[in-house]
Structure 1
């Protein structure tokens, strides 16, 4: 992972926390950390490629997407390479435990029919709150520039 221009200790700690959290969610989801990426821009977001497809959306790859406004969403790839289509949002917690994310994945995969596109929840309480929520997941990161 490369990061450009992290200017403060606060941003570095946020990156370390999010990296550790995403690694823990990757393990819970049954995929490796190499399946994930973090975009540190504002709003910060993360992408986690999942194995398999949904029975109700055959032929489309699946992924989890997290952002600091809406939390986790379960998405499917489009056939045209455009934006991902959101199938569901996890809901009321910006940084749920990885085990809860795993259960969210299982619930969505168990669906037997399509549902309407959901409205995104508004979960953003600021980066200070996000950092506090990520402290338990913090892992040091080696910074490199490109």
Structure 2
């Protein structure tokens, strides 16, 4: 099944369109739609993807994938108090935009409680250096 790409209009920069394209590809690989995503345009640019499933060990807590231009993908659970999310693992790797299948495998590993995938410490894949450099990073690694 292919998700239709709905990129919100009014983006001030092509980097945000490239990010929405990556999010649409990732959500399609996860079997959900890009409507489960939000993007924060502040620096560092970041995204939030709501997941429907719960993780072992965290019953009753909503699960999300987080993305930012410095660390790439991470998995987190919501707190009961509405505070910041609790990051469980980072995908890591050489790029902030890994193939969508890699992100889907990361999510499967979380559900299977497989600690061989991902890492606990946040990787510093790149520095936040403005939308022009983000656009270049998204286009060369996608």
Q: Give the alignment's TM-score, normalised by structure 2.
A: 0.80
Q: What is the aligned counterpart of 1:131 among 123, 132, 135?
A: 135
Indicate the SS of the match to 1:108.
helix
Indicate the SS of the match to 2:123.
coil
Indicate the SS of the match to 2:55.
coil
Rate the CA distance shift 1:51–1:137 in 2: closer, same or farther, 3 A. farther
Structure 1 ranges of 4+ moved more than 3 A: 1-4, 125-130
Q: What is the aligned counterpart of 1:96 among 87, 94, 98?
A: 98
Q: CA deviation at 1:17?
A: 0.4
Rate the CA distance shift 1:29–1:137 in 2: closer, same or farther, 3 A. farther
Aligned to 2:76: 75
The unaligned stretches of length 5 or more in structure 2 are 1-7
Aligned to 1:120: 122
Structure 1 range deviating more: 91-100 or 123-132: 123-132
Rate the CA distance shift 1:25–1:137 in 2: closer, same or farther, 3 A. farther
Rate the CA distance shift 1:17–1:112 in 2: closer, same or farther, 3 A. closer
Indicate the SS of the match to 1:74.
strand
User: Counterparts in 2 of 1:13-28, with a 5 A limit?
Assistant: 13-28=14-29
Supply the RMSD in Å over aligned alpha carbons.
2.5
Aligned to 2:5: none
The one of the two structures with greater contact order (alpha-carbon pairs below 8 A, sep at least 6) is 1
Aligned residues: 129
The unaligned stretches of length 5 or more in structure 1 are 7-11, 139-146
Q: CA deviation at 1:87?
A: 0.7
CA distance in 2, matches of 1:112, 1:91: 15
Q: CA deviation at 1:31?
A: 1.2
Q: Give the alignment's TM-score, normalised by structure 1.
A: 0.78
